[in-house]
Amino acid sequence: MQRFAKLMAKAEGFVPGRTGGLSIKNAGKIYDPDGARVVAVEDCSFEVPPGGICVVVGPSGCGKTTLLNTIAGFDNLTAGEIYLDGALIAAASQSVKPGSGPIVVFQHGALFPWKTVLDNVTYGPVIQRKMSRKAAQAQARALMEKVGLAGIESQYPGEISSGMRRRVEIVRALINDPKILLLDEPFRALDALTKSVMHEYLLELYDLSHKSIFFITHDLEEAIFLADLVVVMTTRPGRVKKLIAVDLARPRTYRMLSSSRFLELKQETIEGVHAEALKAFEAGERELA
Amino acid sequence: MAKILIKTVPAPAAETREQPAVGYTRRHLLWLRAKKTVTERHFWLGLLGVVVFFVGWDLAYRFELPRMEKLESPLYVFREFTLPPRGASTYNPALESKWGYGIWGKAWYTDIGMSVWRISQAFVWSLLGIPLGLVMGWKRSIRDFVFAPFELMRPIPPISWVPLAIVMFPSQEAPIIFLCTIASFFAVTLNTLLGVDSIDPVYFRAARCLGSSEWQIFRHVIIPGAMPFIFTGMLIGLGVAWFSLVGGEIIAGTWGLGYRTMDAYMNVATPQLLIAMFTIGVIGMLMAVGLRALQRRVLAWKTKTGEAI
């Protein structure tokens, strides 16, 4: 928390992240609901450098949320290992204890509706007794002011717009200084215009804090725009189809969406993604997790 | 890239939530709201509904529709209620109340006091259902353990508890209160349990990944998340308690509105019967209104989104 505050204080500076390097090796997850084995994820391997943004793209039901759940600790792997900064955090025999490192921003929003925005944002530090309530509130106010969310502290999530709710949820995660930030299709419920603004917002936050980000989406353009590394997954059982390193310069703007390099990258990936989408459509996949 | 989204904005002066828009005090807002209600169509239609009800009753009595002639006219009941009781030796129907059951006598107030006192005690006891429901929702083991006997006892109507209540509680008041508690308790517990079940699992996950312990999840997610259903349970429990009160007082009580209905029946004092019945309705409604006002405050997070409670 203190470190993040210092990072924010440096504002214009570019500080490379030092933690949050994710390494997934042969991860596999098999669900077994009434005896019928469903292979959700099979033999996925890729690496996210510390301070990098990794975006996983795939059709619905391809296992991307399952993968995120195993990193976050809501589920355990049946095969393979996951390392965070070199330390084994998840394997077939052990699962991540939630609260120890990765923090999730959920698809449909998980801001506690019965708490005010300020109480929501200060929830993490206060509940883990990292600081007193007053200190946490002061930090939260300062942080929210810096990211343009001042003035809504005493309102309830039901009273603010959905775009603001997503931003508050991201701030609620960031205030705990997590090693890696996991985002499960967070902008799915927003309209396209708000979504494009939120992309830039997320990237601005990223530029300030340089947290490792693990992002899940079904939108290829979103993936290429945000990521350092795009992981294309096949439809169920989910395997890694393609890894693409995105070398667009940071900070990225919406104008890059029509640049030639962007279109090249899109052309590289779209064949594969579309083929998987077609397969998923014909198989009538639904999201399991 | 120009920083368009994240910029240092000077924080506005801290506004408290209590302060409404410029210039309007709370009292002024209430006055404006009252003025608005009086001009609304809904208000007048509601009032018309009540008036038509009473007029219809009166006409049914006057025209001696089948079975309606045993009832009294509402005007007669109103006179009985509002006029002073008959003198020792005189009785003038235009100026005096024959039975004396109304705002001038002590009996009506005593009845109200006794019934409300019993209901309040029973209601408070039945709130034990809230922690039970919360814990049942929290820990699967406790739910499995308690649910079977709970569901066995729940369908038993309060009336059939009466003999057991009289035997178990030798005092005068306790059987009635026990009866009302039983009735209300099951409603409160079940609704609380459903409330815990209704909480979206994503909130548990969010709380967990932010580092909460089990007890913290109970305190910060389960209790506030189940609150809407808890209030529903309390409203239903209150209503059921009133039903059981009347039954219990008829069988086992002295004084009280339910007792009064039976007593009036025995003495063929129909105005007393009708007054007692109406009083039960009005007081029940007032208690529900009070509970709903409390609900609006506690569930401010829900009401502020504009959903009606």
Encode pLDDT of B160-205 as tens digits.
988 888 888 888 888 999 999 999 999 999 999 999 999 999 999 9
* Contact state of B5 with A148 under an 8 Å Cβ cutoff: yes
For B26-74, how does the pLDDT look when each residue is reduced to its tens digit (9 = 90+)?
888 888 888 887 888 888 898 999 999 999 988 888 888 887 777 888 8
Give the helix ranges, DSSP H, for A95-244: 117-121, 123-127, 133-146, 162-174, 192-209, 220-226
Best of B6, B7, B204, B297 to disrupt the A interface (most A CBs within 10 Å) is B6
Total of domains in chain B: 3
In this prediction, residue B94 carries a pLDDT of: 75
Please state, in angstroms and rounded to a whole number, the distance separating the CA atoms of residues A117 and A153.
Answer: 5
Kindly report, residue by residue over A241-256, the tens digit of the pLDDT. Answer: 889 888 888 888 888 8
Co-location of B196 and B232 in the same domain: yes
- Of B100, B118, B145, which residue sits at a domain end? B100
Q: Are residues B151 and B94 part of one domain?
A: no
Is A145 touching B (CB cutoff 8 A)? Answer: yes
Residue B289 has pLDDT above 90, yes or no: yes
Q: Kindly report the average pLDDT of chain B as a whole number.
A: 86
Cα(A111)–Cα(A109) distance, rounded to whole angstroms? Answer: 6
Flag whether B1 is in a domain.
no
Same domain? B154 vs B231: yes
Question: Cβ of B16 and A150 within 8 Å?
Answer: no
Whether residue B259 lies inside any domain: the answer is yes
Q: What is the pLDDT confidence band of residue A1, given thresholds at 50, 70 and 90? A: very low
| Confidence bin at B270 (pLDDT 50/70/90) | confident
Measured between CA atoms, how close is A118 to chain B, in angstroms? 13
Q: Is residue A206 within 8 angstroms of chain B, CB to CB?
A: no
Q: What is the average pLDDT value for chain A, to the nearest integer?
A: 85
Residue among B4, B211, B224 whose CB faces A114 most closely? B224
Q: Report if residue B95 sits inside a domain.
A: yes
**Which pLDDT belongs to residue A32?**
79
Which chain A residues have a beta carbon less than 8 Å from that of B3? 204
Count contacts between A and B (CB, < 8 Å): 109
Structural domains of chain A in order of their starting residue, each with its CATH number: 2-102+180-283 (3.40.50.300), 109-177 (no CATH)
Distances (CA, A) of A131 to A119, A144, B50, B103: 14, 18, 59, 61
Looking at B100, B118, B150, which one is the last position of a domain?
B100
CA B249 to chain centre: 18
Q: Which of A10, A14, A112, A128 to mutate to test the interface with B (most CBs of B within 10 A)?
A: A112
Q: Are residues B47 and B149 in the same domain?
A: no
Looking at residue B2, what is its pLDDT?
45
B165 & B297 share domain:
yes
Instruction: Verify that B61 and B85 share a domain, yes or no.
Output: no
Mean pLDDT of the region A151-171: 90
* B257-269 average pLDDT score: 89
User: Residue A12 pLDDT > 50, yes or no?
Assistant: no
For B58, the domain range is 28-69
Helix (H) or strand (E) holding A56: strand A53-57
Domain of B272, CATH number, reads 1.10.3720.10
Is residue B276 one of the residues assigned to a domain?
yes
**Residue B267 is encoded by which pair of tokens?**
């003495």
Which of the pair, B179 or A12, is modelled with greater confidence? B179
| Residues in A touching B301 (Cβ below 8 Å) | 113-115, 156-158
Question: Does A7 score more than 50 pLDDT?
Answer: no
Q: Do B139 and B253 reside in the same domain of the chain? A: yes
Nearest to A288 by CA among A16, A66, A30, A14: A66
Report the range of poorest mean pLDDT among B18-22, B71-75, B93-97: B18-22
CB contact under 8 A, B304 and A158: yes
| Pairwise CA distance, residues A53 & A63, whole Å | 19
Residue B8 lies in a domain: no
What CA–CA distance (Å, rounded) separates B35 from B235? 29
Region of residue A43 (left: phi > 0; alpha: psi -120 to 50; beta: else) = left
Both ends of chain A: CA-CA distance in Å? 32
In a domain, B254, yes or no: yes
- pLDDT digit string, tens, across residues B112-161: 999 999 999 999 999 999 999 999 999 999 999 999 999 999 999 888 98
Domain co-membership, B229 together with B138: yes
Q: What is the ipTM of this complex?
A: 0.86
- With a cut of 70, say whether residue B208 has pLDDT above it: yes
Q: Does some domain include residue B215?
A: yes
Instruction: Tell me whether residue B197 is in a domain.
Output: yes
Q: Which residues of B touch A (CB under 8 A)?
A: 1, 3-12, 15-17, 200, 202-203, 205-212, 216, 220-221, 224-225, 227, 300-302, 304-305
**Distance (Å, whole) CA A114 – CA A123:** 12
A235 touches A60 (CB < 8 A): no
Mean pLDDT of A44-68: 88
Q: Which of B211, B224, B301 sits opposite A124 (nearest CB)?
A: B211
Whether residue A114 lies within 8 A of chain B, CB to CB, comes out as yes
Give the closest of B7, B17, B205 to A154, CB-based.
Answer: B17
pLDDT at B88 over 80: no
Q: Is A128 on the interface with B (CB under 8 A)?
A: yes
B61 & B162 share domain: no
Residues B277 and B218 in one domain: yes
A124 to B1: CB separation less than 8 angstroms, yes or no: no
Does one domain contain both B85 and B122?
A: no
Residue B220 sits in the same domain as residue B251: yes
**B4, B209, B304: residue with CB nearest A72:** B209
Mean pLDDT of B260-285: 90
